[in-house]
């Protein structure tokens, strides 16, 4: 062994001198002697010549070569590989310690294909030394998106689909023309690459919201599509004539509508016969006229606000305008001695309290007579106060969505949960004089959990005198809680598989047999195919011997120079186990993620009250 | 006797099939090749109890196009057969052209249809023979990429003869090797070929037997795999 090492050193010295002279001759060459030796060693390792590789690496590590720190680290690792290949695990650990001493955060994952136990042995040595590895980056990759999709991760728009991200949960939002928005949260673990396939849902329909007082049947070009209130109902895009029919309306309400694909068209409450206003008048101007006792002029402006269905003023604003209209009418009735104006005032008081049942007028400006008229109107009006929960997260099972409804006086209150297509999911009606609470377990009739999407609560009431309340509609959005899902395991790299066959020298002996058979066939062909009458007593032609000999010799050469492939069943079995393990891990992650999503909480987010 | 032949030939057949791996030139995509060929010919003919022998050299060319499992071949050779200049064994000018279409059910096996025309002219007569038949061919890899042993048998059940009696039997067989280096465009071929033509007898004369033996050497170029 000693002699061999000395010979090796001597050979190394000679080679080193030759290389040094060569490197001097090749002035300006960027490749150093050490890096060239290391590259050659790497090639020898890949050709399964660990002894040659070890010689080259010892030369690279010779101080006279002047290897850099990085080159030494690389040489030590490769030398460890040669030791592992030779079965010298202790020697490998020693060289790995040398490498770690120079580069404590070194990782050797990229060299894993050189030896199956390289990474594990190296990491064991690192653990023994107490060193820490350089962390792998966390990467998130999104796949399956249509062209033009806009991707925002944590609010930052991504131009690409794959980026390094800090470990943790990331909110992913994807929007694309013609698709429903997609929102999810994805957890990326440290040092892992998470690939997430995203399948967006197409949205080719338009959506329509329309209400009417009283309830009516809605038609689009004579086709019945539902009853009011319709809440974001999916309808085919196009241009239609919308018609609302109701026995309580003097005539059907009609208007042209253009429904754009993927867009929501809100028509508000239709059926009003009030003249439309182009723009809302400034209430300040009306108030000024009111204070100047210019009741007629003030009334004109207030009425525009009350009946303007185009601008869709808020309920409080309409209520205030209606209240001022009523007060102006009462004042005008007193001054002009016209009782009919007082009747109109009652109508406007009623409008005010229907628009905003909880509206509190500034009664300081009212005289006793006016207050009496107002209170009489308030008593007649059936109003509803609907209190919906704030942004609420409820468990998938066992929770209750609670909506409180308070009619202004005793009435039969009807409560409905409607979905985008107008269908009723849940309904309940109760007689109540005060606050009542509707509680829903947000599961459908078949027991299925309410799916994410847009819905609405629609409430109305009717008192014993037949007074019908306005329909109170409170849209809300249902989302499933973002859950932390497991990343799918990465597919085993090519280095995880062993070769399933080996190429061994010499072709199959059957090649020789085939050559002999063809040669023999050539010799006897003349007798087999030819006419016996012509060939009797004659030997085969010389040409047949030439060809037969050539074929036989060629087969012999082919046998000696050729190779054959030998299957390695143990590697085939091991590779199958690696594939099966990967499939099991992947199936387990998919099942676990499905379970987590199924158990995710349900978030109810009601729109702001109008 | 036939059973014994079968018994003896079975191990050979098994050996051939066991190495019946395709040569490299057979496994690739579309290819086209052309080669010049030389036939060193010996012909033997028996007529009215006398056997006449002739020899000569024929030259010609072969071309082959292969697309997937289908192969189309055309060939043409021509040359002279020299006899003893007697009246019964005059020199002959020979032209043979053929076309064949083959399909490979397996990479090592090809079957197909053949059409050939053979024109033999002497000072006394001109015989034109048109042959219609089929072939079976084997290609056995011989250990080195591109090197293969080849065996072909052709039988013409339908013939049409002008200037002579009809043919009772027409067939030929060819064995040899070919080499198409995987990294080159050259194609080499060496084969031994035996052709047999048995003309029927008639009221005007007895049956006539012809046999052609030839060493075939070819050198050509190939494009594609």
- pTM of the predicted protein model: 0.43
Mean residue pLDDT across chain A:
81
Separation between Cα atoms, residue A572 and residue A498, nearest integer Å: 8
Using a CB-CB cut-off of 8 Å, the residues of chain B touching A522 are 175-176, 192
Residue B122: how many other CB atoms lie within 10 Å: 15
Nearest-neighbour CA in chain A from B73: distance (Å): 23
Task: Say if residues B145 and B24 touch (Cβ distance below 8 Å).
Answer: yes
pLDDT of residue B28: 57
B205 pairs with which residues across the strands?
B202
Burial state string for A196-230 with b = 16 or more CB within 10 A and e = fewer than 16: bebebeebebbbbbbbbbebbbbbbeeeebbbbbb
Task: Say if residues A247 and A305 touch (Cβ distance below 8 Å).
Answer: no
Residue A4 has pLDDT above 50, yes or no: no
Is the model more confident about A368 or about B118? B118
pLDDT of residue A273: 45
B171 touches chain A (CB under 8 A): yes
Separation between Cα atoms, residue A97 and residue A117, nearest integer Å: 16
Per-residue pLDDT reduced to its tens digit, A57-94: 988 888 888 888 888 888 999 999 888 888 888 889 98
Residue A14 has pLDDT above 50, yes or no: no
User: B149 and A515: CB-CB below 8 Å?
Assistant: yes
Separation between Cα atoms, residue A6 and residue A3, nearest integer Å: 5
A570 CB-near residues (< 8 Å, 6+ apart) = none
B198 touches chain A (CB under 8 A): yes
Nearest-neighbour CA in chain B from A130: distance (Å): 54
A267 CB-near residues (< 8 Å, 6+ apart) = A208, A209, A210, A211, A242, A255, A257
Domains of chain B: 31-224 (2.40.128.100)
Residue A102 has pLDDT above 90, yes or no: no
| Residue from A458, A484, A450 nearest A604 by CA | A450
| Residue from A301, A333, A473 nearest A403 by CA | A473
Q: Is A30 exposed, middle or buried (0-12, 13-18, 19+ CB in 10 A)?
A: exposed
B207 touches chain A (CB under 8 A): no
User: B172 and A508: CB-CB below 8 Å?
Assistant: no
For chain B, give the longest Cα–Cα distance: 60
Task: Say if residues A318 and A355 touch (Cβ distance below 8 Å).
Answer: yes
pLDDT of residue B49: 81
Angstrom distances, CA of residue A476 to CA of A307, A436, A488, A589? 27, 20, 34, 33
pLDDT of residue B21: 40
| Residue from B214, B187, B170 nearest B81 by CA | B214
Q: Is A388 helix (H, G, I), strand (E, B) or coil?
A: coil
Q: Is A212 helix (H, G, I), strand (E, B) or coil?
A: strand
Element at A173 (helix H, strand E): strand A168-175
Sheet containing strand A238-245, strands side by side: A223-227, A217-220, A238-245, A253-259
Task: Say if residues B104 and B78 touch (Cβ distance below 8 Å).
Answer: no
Tokens of B44: 């033997």
User: B215 and A508: CB-CB below 8 Å?
Assistant: no
B16 touches chain A (CB under 8 A): yes
For residue B44, give the chain A residue with the closest CA.
Answer: A534
Per-residue pLDDT reduced to its tens digit, A544-583: 999 999 999 999 999 999 988 888 999 999 999 999 999 9
Task: Say if residues B28 and B224 touch (Cβ distance below 8 Å).
Answer: yes
Place of tokens 């060819």: B174
pLDDT of residue A477: 92
Sheet containing strand A411-419, strands side by side: A392-394, A602-606, A472-480, A453-462, A411-419, A424-432
Please count the helices (runs of H) and the strands (runs of E) in chain B. Answer: 2, 10
Nearest-neighbour CA in chain B from A45: distance (Å): 27
pLDDT of residue B62: 96
Task: Say if residues A345 and A331 touch (Cβ distance below 8 Å).
Answer: no
Angstrom distances, CA of residue A505 to CA of A558, A559, A561, B157? 11, 9, 8, 46
Per-residue pLDDT reduced to its tens digit, A455-486: 999 998 988 887 788 788 889 999 888 778 88
Using a CB-CB cut-off of 8 Å, the residues of chain B touching A515 are 142, 149
pLDDT of residue A31: 65
Separation between Cα atoms, residue A325 and residue B26, nearest integer Å: 98
Tokens of A457: 């609560």
Q: How confident is the model at residue A422 (pLDDT cuts 50, 70, 90)?
A: confident
User: B175 and A530: CB-CB below 8 Å?
Assistant: no
pLDDT of residue A29: 42
User: B209 and A554: CB-CB below 8 Å?
Assistant: no
Element at A296 (helix H, strand E): helix A295-307
Separation between Cα atoms, residue A96 and residue A120, nearest integer Å: 12
Is the model more confident about A354 or about B38? B38
Among A109-118, A176-185, A406-415, the range scoring the smallest mean pLDDT is: A176-185
Nearest-neighbour CA in chain A from B101: distance (Å): 23
User: A526 and B194: CB-CB below 8 Å?
Assistant: yes
Q: What is the pLDDT along chain B (225 residues), one digit of tens a residue?
A: 344 444 444 444 444 444 444 333 344 578 999 999 999 999 999 887 888 999 999 999 999 999 999 999 999 999 999 988 777 788 999 999 999 999 999 989 999 999 999 999 988 889 999 999 999 999 999 989 899 999 999 999 999 999 888 999 999 999 999 999 988 899 999 999 999 999 988 776 778 899 999 999 999 999 886
Q: Is B88 helix (H, G, I), strand (E, B) or coil?
A: coil
pLDDT of residue A466: 79
Using a CB-CB cut-off of 8 Å, the residues of chain A touching B142 are 507, 511, 514-515, 554-555, 558-559, 562
| Residue from A61, A131, A54 nearest A92 by CA | A54
Q: What is the mean pLDDT of residues A537-543?
A: 80
User: B44 and A534: CB-CB below 8 Å?
Assistant: yes
Separation between Cα atoms, residue A319 and residue A322, nearest integer Å: 5
Element at A446 (helix H, strand E): none
Q: What is the number of alpha carbons within 13 Å of residue A506 lying toward its C-beta?
A: 4
Residue A10 has pLDDT above 90, yes or no: no
Q: How confident is the model at residue A226 (pLDDT cuts 50, 70, 90)?
A: confident
Q: Is A610 helix (H, G, I), strand (E, B) or coil?
A: coil
Among A13-22, A241-250, B182-191, the range scoring the smallest mean pLDDT is: A13-22
Task: State what percent of residues in chain A have pLDDT above 70.
Answer: 88
Considering only CB atoms, A554 lies closest to which of B147, B173, B214, namely: B147
Tokens of A23: 């490197």
């Amino acid at each position: 062994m000693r002699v061999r090492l000395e010979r090796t050193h001597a050979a190394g010295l000679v080679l080193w001198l030759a290389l040094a002279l060569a490197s001097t001759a090749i002035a300006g060459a960027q490749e150093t002697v050490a890096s060239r030796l290391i590259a050659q060693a790497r090639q020898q390792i890949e050709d399964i010549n660990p002894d040659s590789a070890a010689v080259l690496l010892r030369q690279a590590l010779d101080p006279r070569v002047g290897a850099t720190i990085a080159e030494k680290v690389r040489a030590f690792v490769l030398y460890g590989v040669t030791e592992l290949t030779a079965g010298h695990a202790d020697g490998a650990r020693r060289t790995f310690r040398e490498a770690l001493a120079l580069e404590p955060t070194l990782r050797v994952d990229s060299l894993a294909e050189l030896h199956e136990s390289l990474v594990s042995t190296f990491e064991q040595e690192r653990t023994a030394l107490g060193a820490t590895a350089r962390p792998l980056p966390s990467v998130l990759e999104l796949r399956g998106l249509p062209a033009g999709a806009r991707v925002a991760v944590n609010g930052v728009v991504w131009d690409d689909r794959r980026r390094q991200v800090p470990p943790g949960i990331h909110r992913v939002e994807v929007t694309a023309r013609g698709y429903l928005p997609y929102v999810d949260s994805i957890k990326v673990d440290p040092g892992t690459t998470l690939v997430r396939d995203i399948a967006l849902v197409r949205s080719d329909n338009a959506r329509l919201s329309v209400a009417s007082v009283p309830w009516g049947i809605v038609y689009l070009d004579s086709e019945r599509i539902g009853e009011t209130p319709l809440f974001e109902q999916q309808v085919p895009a196009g241009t239609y004539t919308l018609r609302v029919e109701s026995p309580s309306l003097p005539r059907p309400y009609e208007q042209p509508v253009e429904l754009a694909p993927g867009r929501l068209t809100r028509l508000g409450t239709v059926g009003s016969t009030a003249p439309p206003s182009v723009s809302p008048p400034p209430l300040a101007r009306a108030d000024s006229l009111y204070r100047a006792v210019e009741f007629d002029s003030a009334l004109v402006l207030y009425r525009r606000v009350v009946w303007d269905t185009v601008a869709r003023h808020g309920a409080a604003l309409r209520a205030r305008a209606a209240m001022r209209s009523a007060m102006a009418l009462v004042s005008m009735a007193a001054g002009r001695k016209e009782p009919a104006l007082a009747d109109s005032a009652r109508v406007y008081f009623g409008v005010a309290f229907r628009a905003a049942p909880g509206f509190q007028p500034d009664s300081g400006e009212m005289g006793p007579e006016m207050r009496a008229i107002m209170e009489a109107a308030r008593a007649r009006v059936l109003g509803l106060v609907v209190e919906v929960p704030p942004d609420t997260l409820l468990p998938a099972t066992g929770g209750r969505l609670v909506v409180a409804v308070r009619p202004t006086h005793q009435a039969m209150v009807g409560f409905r949960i409607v979905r985008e297509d107008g269908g009723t999911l849940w309904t309940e009606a109760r007689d109540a004089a005060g606050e009542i609470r509707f509680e829903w377990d947000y599961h459908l009739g078949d027991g299925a959990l309410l799916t994410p999407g847009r819905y609405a609560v629609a409430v109305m009431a009717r008192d014993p005198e037949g007074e019908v309340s306005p329909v109170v509609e409170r849209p809300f959005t249902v989302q499933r809680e973002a859950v932390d899902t497991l990343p799918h395991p990465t597919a085993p790299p090519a280095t995880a598989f062993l070769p399933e066959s080996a190429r061994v020298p010499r072709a199959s002996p059957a090649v020789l047999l085939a050559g002999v058979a063809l040669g023999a066939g050539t010799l006897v062909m003349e007798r087999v195919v030819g006419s016996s009458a012509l060939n009797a007593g004659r030997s085969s032609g010389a040409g047949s011997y030439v060809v037969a000999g050539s074929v036989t010799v060629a087969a012999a050469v082919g046998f000696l120079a050729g190779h054959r492939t030998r299957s390695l069943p143990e590697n085939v079995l091991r590779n199958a186990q690696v594939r099966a393990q990967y499939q099991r891990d992947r199936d387990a992650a998919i099942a676990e993620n499905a379970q987590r999503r199924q158990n995710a909480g349900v978030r109810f987010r009601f729109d702001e009250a109008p | 006797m036939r059973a014994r032949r079968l018994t003896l030939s079975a191990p050979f057949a098994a050996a051939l099939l066991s190495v019946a791996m395709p040569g490299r030139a057979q496994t690739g995509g579309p290819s086209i090749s052309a080669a010049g060929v030389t036939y060193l010919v010996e012909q033997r003919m028996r007529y009215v109890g006398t056997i006449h022998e002739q020899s000569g050299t024929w030259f010609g060319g072969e071309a082959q196009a292969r697309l997937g499992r289908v192969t189309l071949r055309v060939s043409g050779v021509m040359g002279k057969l020299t006899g003893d200049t007697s009246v019964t064994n005059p020199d002959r000018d020979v032209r043979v052209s053929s076309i064949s279409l083959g399909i490979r059910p397996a990479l090592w096996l090809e079957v197909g249809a053949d059409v050939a025309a053979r024109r033999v002219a002497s000072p006394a007569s001109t015989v034109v023979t048109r042959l219609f038949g089929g072939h079976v061919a084997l290609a056995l890899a011989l250990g080195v990429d591109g090197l293969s042993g080849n065996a072909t048998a052709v039988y013409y059940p339908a013939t049409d003869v002008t200037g002579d009696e009809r043919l009772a039997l027409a067939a030929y067989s060819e064995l040899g090797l070919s080499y198409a280096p995987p990294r080159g465009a050259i194609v080499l071929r060496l084969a031994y070929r035996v052709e047999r033509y048995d003309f029927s007898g008639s009221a005007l004369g007895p049956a006539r037997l012809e046999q052609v033996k030839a060493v075939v050497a070819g050198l050509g170029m190939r494009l594609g795999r």
